[in-house]
Amino acid sequence: MPSYSKKFLLCLSLHLFTITAQAEQIDLFIMAGQSNMQGWRSDAAQYPIDRQNLDTKIPFYFKALNYSSSNDNWQTLNSQLGHFKQGHFGPEVSFARALKRANLNLAIFKYSSGSSSIKTEWKAPGHRGQYDDMVVHLKHAIQQLENQGHIVVPQAFVWIQGESDANNPQLAQEYYWHLKKLLTHLRNNVLRQPDLPVILSVDEQHPRVQLQPQIVDAQLKLSYEDKTITFVSMHGLEKSDVTHLTAKGTIAQGKRLYQTYINQLPY
What confidence tens digit (pLDDT) does each residue in 214-231 have?
Answer: 999 999 999 999 999 999
**Span 154-181, pLDDT tens digits:** 999 999 999 999 999 999 999 999 999 9
Q: 10 Å Cβ neighbour count for 27?
A: 15
Residue 61's closest CA among 108, 14, 102? 108
AA identity, residue 241: D
For the chain, the domains span 22-264
Q: Count of residues for the chain?
A: 267
Q: Which residue has the higher pLDDT, 85 or 8?
A: 85
Residue 38's closest CA among 58, 73, 66? 66
Q: What is the pTM of this model?
A: 0.92
Cα–Cα distance for residue pair 41/123, rounded to 1 Å = 25
**Bridge partners (DSSP) listed for residue 88:** 43, 80
Instruction: Calculate ∠ Cα 221-224-225, nearest 5°.
Output: 90
Above 50 in pLDDT, residue 240? yes
CA 17 to chain centroid, in Å, comes to 33
Are β-strands 75-76 and 59-64 bridged in parallel, bridged antiparallel, or unpaired?
Answer: antiparallel
Burial class (CB in 10 A: 0-12, 13-18, 19+), 162: buried
**Is there a contact between 156 and 29 (Cβ–Cβ < 8 Å)?**
yes
Residue 22 confidence (pLDDT):
59
**Is there a contact between 237 and 252 (Cβ–Cβ < 8 Å)?**
yes
**Span 93-110, pLDDT tens digits:** 999 999 999 999 999 999
**Is there a contact between 134 and 189 (Cβ–Cβ < 8 Å)?**
no
Q: 10 Å Cβ neighbour count for 258?
A: 20
**Is there a contact between 160 and 37 (Cβ–Cβ < 8 Å)?**
yes
Domain 22-264 has CATH 2.60.40.10: no
Cα–Cα distance for residue pair 250/248, rounded to 1 Å = 5
